Amino acid sequence: MSALHLDDRELASCVACGLCLPHCPTYRVTGEESASPRGRIAAIRAVQWEGHAVDDSFATFMELCVQCRACEVACPSSVPFGHLMEGARQALAEQGRAGTWWQRRAFAVLGHHRALLGLSTLGALAQRLHLLPKRLGLPQLPLRRPPLSGTGSDVYLFTGCAMDAWLRPAHVAAVKVLGLAGAGVALPGPGGDCCGALHTHAGFRDDAVRLAERVMASMPGNAPVLVDAAGCGAAMKDYGRLVGTPAAVAFSARVADVHEWLASRLDQLPPAPSGPRRRVAVQDPCHLRHVQKAHQAVRTVLGRYVDIAELDDDGLCCGAGGAYAALQPQMAAAVRDRKVAAIAATGSNLVASANPGCVLHLAGAGLDVRHPLEIVEEVVGGG
């Protein structure tokens, strides 16, 4: 380990073959080596091994990465690019180069759920009064949220921060569908409101560890911890590595994406009603497909009730990337254009996505995007 918090063996594992380049959304947009995984690894090596400065140019190369990790899946040498980028971002954060002041403030609010709900409602009001600039590309924020309550203790449903503030109906649908599968659902206790994924991606590792410890304490016992937001699930499955304690390893082993859990109990779900079936385009969130590798479970559950329309883009990122769409709006929009074209080519006017960032980013382009379990609940009824 050295200045960039990187394992030299991991950094050395790239053989510069370039096979990852066509899978990188920022390389696809720019055609620039510096915006490719191989170029970013070369820049990281220059700092780690050759003593180059962590300067503005290095920060720009790193910040333009969406952290989608499509390059990991494409890489024949199994380069753990996510670790490398998180270490580089952590070094930038320690030098005060990570994010703007408002980004740091916004990240701080994520761990204070009541404040987040209040600010979100104020944002929704400002939107209705046309006080928020259109260039932010935000979809309509909710003025009200449906009530959400627990129904038992068989499983936990992690509710999170932005997901609960902006997409509460997805949680309500998840509780109903889990109920149809025979599971009583417990909600997290105090502190179970921000998983720390965005903090990890931005390099604020200490904050991420603190939030992870709160989340683990909010869901004691042995019940499975189900997650309906792909980015949160990926982060919580990695708590063992992030926090580095046996308790964190044990907690991570309890975490599953909600579709993974339902897919293994499909026969307990009601059959599809007779009659015509809707056709739904499925957008794979990167942290479900490339990190958790659980994207097929969405098709297993959703495909019981609707016809799936596959996108012909090999799972290319949509450009949401957690806070990326707010921080790099031009690149995020350029990446999104490709995803919107791939969705349009399916001919479907309804899109399923299991991650709040992707739902909001794609909805910002005018698409009708819903969580897969909202679509399931709509078909079978929540009872």
Identify the CA nearest to 334 among candidates 356, 357, 365, 355: 365
Least spacing, CB of residue 75 vs ligand SF4, in Å = 3
Here's the x/- map for ligand SF4, 80-119, by CB under 6 A: it reads as -x--------------------------------------
Rounded (10°) CA dihedral 36, 37, 41, 43: 20
Q: What does the alpha-carbon distance between residue 172 and residue 174 come to, in Å, rounded to a whole number?
A: 5
- What stretches of 3-69 show up as alpha helix (H) in DSSP? 8-12, 25-30, 37-50, 56-63
Decide: is 67 part of the binding site for ligand SF4 (CB under 6 A): yes
Q: Should residue 226 be labelled a site residue for ligand SF4 when binding is judged by CB under 6 A?
A: no
Q: How far is the CB of 21 from ligand SF4 (least distance, A)?
A: 7
Contacting residue, 4, 11, 62, 70, with ligand SF4 by CB under 6 A: 70
Please identify which residue in 6, 29, 43, 66 interacts with ligand SF4, judged by CB under 6 A: 66
Binding mask 36-65 for ligand SF4 (x = CB under 6 A): -xx-x------------------------x
Span from 21-29, 53-61, 189-197, 265-273 in contact with ligand SF4 (CB under 6 A): 21-29
The H-assigned helical ranges of 31-151 are 37-50, 56-63, 70-74, 81-94, 101-110, 113-128
Cα 281 from Cα 268, distance rounded (Å)? 25
232 part of the interface to ligand SF4, by CB under 6 A: no
Interface pick for ligand SF4 out of 5, 11, 26, 328 (rule CB under 6 A): 26
Residue number with CB closer to ligand SF4 (178 or 198): 198
Question: Helices H, strands E: what count in the chain?
Answer: 22, 8
Of 254, 219, 215, 213, residue with least CA distance to 237 = 254
Closest distance between ligand SF4 and the C-beta of residue 317, in Å?
A: 6
Q: Which residues is 227 bridged to in the sheet?
A: 158, 257
Closest residue by Cα to residue 10 from 58, 61, 72, 81 = 81
Binding piece for ligand SF4, criterion CB under 6 A, among 13-21, 133-141, 221-229, 244-252: 13-21
Q: E strand or H helix at 280, and its extent?
A: strand 279-283
Binding residues (CB under 6 A) for ligand SF4: these are 14-20, 23-26, 37-38, 40, 65-71, 74-75, 77, 79, 81
